[in-house]
Amino acid sequence: MAENIKSTDAIENIKSKLPPDDVIYDLADLFKMFGDSTRAKILQCLQISDLNVGEIADVLGMSISAVSHQLRVLRAAKLVRGTKEGKEVKYSLDDDHVTKILEYGLTHVNEDK
C-alpha cells in the first residue's frame, strides 16, 4: 500500500510540473511549422542569409507565390520577420530561438549518420 502512495505522490509531482494545456497546444503548433519540408527549407535558407521572396524562390526552385504563402505562415508563427528595404522585403529568422531549434533539430537527425 505504501508503494501506491509513493506512486501517487510521484504522479502528482509530475502533473504539477507540466505546463498548462494551452501552452502544450501552442508548442505542438510550433512544431507543426517544422513538419513541412518546404518551410524547413525556407528556414534553413534564412539561417544562412537574409533573403527576399524572389531569392528564396530561386534557391529552392519554387514559384514566388508558393514561397510567399509559406512565408506568411512562418510570419504568423513568429518564426520569420520581414524588413522593408526600398521596394523589397528582406526576410530573416525572427530570433535566436529559431536558430537554436534548427541547430538542435539538425544535430538530432544527424546523430547516427
25-63 pLDDT, tens per residue? 999 999 999 999 999 999 999 999 999 999 999 999 999
Q: What is the separation, in whole angstroms, between the first and last Cα of the chain?
A: 48
Q: What is the pLDDT of residue 112?
A: 85
For 1-113, where are the E strands, in sequence order? Answer: 80-85, 88-93
Task: Tell me the mean pLDDT in the region 103-109.
Answer: 94
Nine cell digits for residue 7: 506512486
Q: Is residue 67 within 8 Å of residue 75, measured between CB atoms?
A: no
Asked if pLDDT for residue 2 goes beyond 60, the answer is no
Mean pLDDT of 78-85: 96
Contacts of 30 by beta carbon, 8 Å cutoff, 6+ apart? 77
Residues 69/56, Cβ–Cβ less than 8 Å: no
pLDDT at 4: 63
Q: What is the largest CA-CA distance in the chain?
A: 72
> Residue 3: pLDDT above 60?
no
The x, y and z cell numbers of residue 74, run together, are: 512562418
pLDDT score for 8: 85
